[in-house]
């Protein structure tokens, strides 16, 4: 799996005596305030970029500031994707632990940010040099309000979808000389006090603050929201501030550990300095006084995603020993450093590690299911386990070689290199094909090994049943030449999500743009009262569709118009490029998701009973064969197998590595028993089922490692072709 690795570097250089506009300049920036851009973006030479360092907040001004339209966010892992204004490039990002998000001029969480809006991203390079690490995100509103600036409405050009405004600083009673135009549309929401009003309710002279989004026509920028009057501005900021305060109180104040000496440790709180001051004051926490009084807080271990494990148990009572006011000219530093003495030092109390601080009395509770690290359900497994493997993985051990496939062995999970891409062509007889890798566009030829499986609609299918033109994840292993061409698993997006009990839920339909805004949600889980409840959403994303998108809803094929807000669905899309997130090819809504899976499974079961269950010969002892069945869907294999044939015979045909038994004769063998699964758990391609079978006479060819197809008595063995 390789998400965007391309570094989007973009800067604007102001030369004295004239402007030079790089080709990728953002129209948004051009049209609004040059100040937003020029005052903070720095460094034009690649080698001069500030590099993030453990335990160091990056100085303000060292960031690479990029504006773009937010397309996808993952609340839990604090990641997302945006489209860079101007270039249209897609950029994946990850928030640094200390990242501060400003929305409506107050601190916010990713959950608070509307998708489709444009934001300013304050970026730093990751270890590969790509600008993916976010130190701050700010909306237009916050950029303006942060400088004490608003727009004075001069003229309303309703016919031209334009507002003519002048940038003003009310506190200083100053205004710019030039007017600028704000694009609006009938989709623009106008807010006055707590009410939504119409565009034509605006009055010349109104003080406006705005946020931008992408308009009905791609690339066209327009005001998604306009807030009218200073009282409205105060109100919405206050609302967002309170919302964030509740968020902080629930999850604790994030901080990192500067040092641990003996039993003491120093922590510096994350956050916007002013916002944190207000928050602490509201909570009656005086950081300096608390140190003098030796007050106690609770310190909870967290990870870089600011997620906690089990705060009610982990929370270590900690005495505040010292307070230090630290410089705030850095991103993410709230300016408050405390030296704490916890009751017990925990492994997570190490220099550079993240903790969350709770005031005594705040309810210490677990984060919701999915977000809590005690109930992780997400696919990606990182951390210490990955680096213990004796081979390289996508997450660790870069110095080690990749796992090499071995005859007669199923590759362990995590040994693969995952690449997403669009399936272009297949050769069913050789179980091979070609796909175009996401983003890079590289054409990759692949072959399925005998145990290799194809998953489509959360069911195992034959390669020829996997639709072309659709995006899949390819679990690749190096071939003899070291090229990643051997695919142990090919999996569609439907399966990827369904396998993790995830679906989408439509929140907004932008029919004219061919876009859906959908929440990514988890299946309901049992709470402590054994009631099924759905955990909070864990992300939000934009999905594209057009008239050719097949909508499978209520048991029939529908047009996109049949989609409704609240629909629960899974999708398969086209592949991705550096500028295109892909378009939905098929959408499965509600019960049709399950039906799709069951249909595919039934189809595959029929196929397997006609063509035999693929397996290989694990060992041969005299006439006795130990065979190991393949399956890409281990959980379902029992129902395909339908029990052991105790006291009966089975029929076995020799097959080639592409699982073809063409021309082979079925050999009757006695079933001799079922063996434990051995070390096949956590591997790709194994069903976990092993049998002993024994023919009266062992024909030639039945040797260790050979691929076979196995039929139970009574299954309709198809006459091998050619006979």
State the residues that interact with another protein by CB under 8 A.
259-260, 301-303, 309-310, 313-314, 344-351, 353, 384-385, 388-390, 410, 412-415, 677, 679-683
* Residue 471 vs 477, nearer CB to another protein: 477
Provide, rounded to whole angstroms, the least separation between the CB of residue 354 and another protein.
9
* Residue 279 vs 410, nearer CB to another protein: 410
Cβ burial, residue 338 (10 Å; 0-12/13-18/19+): buried
The set of residues, in sequence order, having a beta carbon less than 8 Å from that of 83 and lying 6+ positions away, is 68, 69, 71, 89, 90, 91, 579
* Residue 108 vs 301, nearer CB to another protein: 301
What are the CA-CA distances from residue 690 to residues 619, 644, 710 (Å)? 11, 10, 12
Cβ burial, residue 407 (10 Å; 0-12/13-18/19+): exposed
With beta carbons less than 8 A apart as the criterion, state whether 374 and 313 touch: no
φ, ψ for residue 313, nearest 5 deg: -100, -40
Provide, rounded to whole angstroms, the least separation between the CB of residue 321 and another protein.
18
Provide, rounded to whole angstroms, the least separation between the CB of residue 364 and another protein.
13
Provide, rounded to whole angstroms, the least separation between the CB of residue 383 and another protein.
8
Distance between CA atoms of residues 101 and 80, nearest Å: 13
Provide, rounded to whole angstroms, the least separation between the CB of residue 403 and another protein.
9
Listed residue (508, 511, 477, 474) closest to 493, CA to CA? 474
Listed residue (368, 374, 380) closest to 111, CA to CA? 368
* Residue 10 vs 629, nearer CB to another protein: 629
Provide, rounded to whole angstroms, the least separation between the CB of residue 683 and another protein.
5
* Residue 55 vs 469, nearer CB to another protein: 55
Residue located via tokens 């460094």: 43
Provide, rounded to whole angstroms, the least separation between the CB of residue 556 and another protein.
41
* Residue 344 vs 721, nearer CB to another protein: 344
* Residue 360 vs 385, nearer CB to another protein: 385
| H/E run at residue 593 | helix 591-611
Provide, rounded to whole angstroms, the least separation between the CB of residue 82 and another protein.
31
* Residue 304 vs 656, nearer CB to another protein: 304
Distance between CA atoms of residues 723 and 709, nearest Å: 18
With beta carbons less than 8 A apart as the criterion, state whether 416 and 488 touch: yes
* Residue 15 vs 344, nearer CB to another protein: 344
CA angle, 350 then 356 then 358, to 5°:
130
The set of residues, in sequence order, having a beta carbon less than 8 Å from that of 168 and lying 6+ positions away, is 149, 150, 151, 152, 174, 175, 176, 207
How distant is the alpha carbon of residue 574 from its chain centre? 18
Distance between CA atoms of residues 128 and 460, nearest Å: 36
Provide, rounded to whole angstroms, the least separation between the CB of residue 487 and another protein.
19
Provide, rounded to whole angstroms, the least separation between the CB of residue 297 and another protein.
17
If DSSP codes are grouped into helix, strand and coil, which group holds residue 167? Answer: strand
The set of residues, in sequence order, having a beta carbon less than 8 Å from that of 105 and lying 6+ positions away, is 141, 142, 145, 146, 233, 237, 240
Provide, rounded to whole angstroms, the least separation between the CB of residue 296 and another protein.
17
* Residue 85 vs 316, nearer CB to another protein: 316
Listed residue (64, 177, 59, 42) closest to 124, CA to CA? 64
* Residue 349 vs 494, nearer CB to another protein: 349
* Residue 418 vs 624, nearer CB to another protein: 418
With beta carbons less than 8 A apart as the criterion, state whether 101 and 110 touch: yes
Provide, rounded to whole angstroms, the least separation between the CB of residue 300 and another protein.
9
Strand partners, 558: 551
């Amino acid at each position: 799996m390789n998400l965007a690795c391309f570094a989007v570097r973009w800067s604007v250089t102001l030369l004295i005596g004239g402007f030079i506009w790089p080709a990728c300049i953002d129209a948004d920036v051009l049209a609004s305030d040059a100040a937003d851009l020029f005052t903070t973006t720095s460094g034009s030479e690649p080698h001069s970029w500030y590099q993030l360092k453990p335990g160091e907040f990056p100085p303000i001004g060292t960031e690479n500031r990029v504006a773009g339209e937010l397309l996808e966010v993952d609340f839990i892992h604090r990641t997302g994707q945006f489209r860079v204004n101007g270039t249209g490039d897609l950029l994946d990002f990850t928030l640094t632990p200390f990242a501060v998000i400003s929305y409506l001029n107050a601190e916010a969480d990713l959950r608070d940010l509307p998708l489709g809006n444009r934001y300013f991203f304050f970026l730093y390079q990751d270890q590969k040099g790509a600008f993916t690490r976010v130190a701050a995100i700010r909306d237009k509103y916050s950029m303006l309000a942060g400088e004490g600036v608003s727009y004075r409405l001069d003229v309303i050009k309703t016919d031209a979808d334009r507002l003519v405004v002048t940038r003003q600083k009310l506190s200083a009673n100053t205004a710019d000389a030039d007017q600028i135009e704000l694009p609006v549309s009938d989709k623009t929401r106008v807010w006055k006090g707590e009410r939504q009003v119409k565009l034509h309710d605006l009055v010349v002279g109104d003080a406006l603050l705005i946020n931008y989004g992408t308009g009905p026509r791609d690339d066209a920028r327009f005001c998604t929201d306009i807030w009218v009057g200073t009282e409205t501005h105060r109100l919405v900021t206050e609302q967002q501030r309170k919302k964030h305060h509740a968020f902080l109180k629930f999850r604790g104040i994030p901080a990192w550990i500067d040092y641990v000496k003996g039993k003491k440790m120093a922590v510096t709180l994350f956050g916007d300095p002013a916002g944190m001051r207000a928050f602490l004051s509201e909570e009656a926490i005086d950081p300096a006084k608390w140190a003098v009084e030796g007050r106690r807080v609770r310190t909870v271990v967290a990870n870089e995603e600011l997620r906690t494990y089990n705060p009610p148990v982990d929370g270590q009572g900690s005495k505040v020993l010292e307070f230090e006011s630290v410089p705030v000219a850095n991103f993410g530093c709230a300016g408050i450093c405390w030296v704490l003495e916890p009751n017990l030092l925990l492994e997570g109390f190490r220099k550079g590690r993240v903790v969350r601080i709770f005031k005594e009395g705040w309810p210490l509770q677990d984060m919701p299911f999915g977000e809590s690290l005690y109930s992780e359900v997400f696919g990606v497994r990182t951390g210490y386990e990955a680096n213990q493997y004796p081979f390289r993985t996508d997450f660790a051990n870069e110095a080690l070689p990749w796992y090499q496939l071995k005859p007669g062995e199923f590759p362990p999970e995590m040994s693969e290199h995952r690449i997403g891409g669009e399936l272009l062509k297949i050769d069913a007889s050789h179980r091979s094909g070609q796909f175009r890798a996401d983003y890079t566009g590289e054409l990759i030829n692949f072959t399925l090994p005998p145990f290799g499986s194809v998953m489509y609609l959360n069911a195992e299918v034959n390669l020829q049943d996997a639709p072309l033109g659709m995006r899949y994840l390819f679990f690749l292993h190096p071939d003899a030449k070291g090229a990643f061409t051997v695919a142990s698993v090919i999996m569609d997006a439907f399966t990827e999500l369904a396998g993790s009990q995830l679906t989408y839920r439509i929140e907004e339909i932008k029919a004219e743009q061919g876009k859906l805004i959908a929440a990514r949600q988890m299946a309901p889980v049992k709470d402590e009262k054994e009631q099924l409840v759905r955990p909070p959403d864990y992300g939000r994303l934009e999905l594209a569709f057009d008239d050719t998108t097949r909508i499978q809803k209520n048991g029939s094929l529908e047009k996109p118009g049949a989609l409704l807000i609240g629909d629960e669905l899974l999708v398969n899309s086209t592949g991705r490029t550096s500028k295109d997130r892909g378009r939905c090819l098929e959408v499965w809504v509600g019960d049709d998701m399950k039906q799709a899976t069951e249909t595919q499974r039934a189809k595959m079961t029929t196929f397997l009973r006609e063509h035999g269950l693929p397996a290989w010969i694990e060992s041969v002892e005299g006439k006795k064969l130990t065979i190991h069945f393949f399956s890409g869907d281990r959980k379902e294999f029992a129902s395909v197998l339908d029990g052991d044939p105790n006291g009966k015979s089975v029929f076995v045909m020799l097959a080639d590595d592409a699982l073809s038994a063409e021309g082979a004769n079925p050999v009757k063998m006695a079933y001799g028993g079922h063996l434990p699964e051995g070390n096949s758990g956590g591997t790709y391609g194994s069903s976990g089922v092993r049998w002993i079978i024994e023919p009266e006479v062992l024909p030639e060819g039945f040797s260790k490692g050979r691929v076979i197809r196995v039929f139970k008595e009574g299954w309709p063995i198809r006459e091998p072709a050619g006979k």
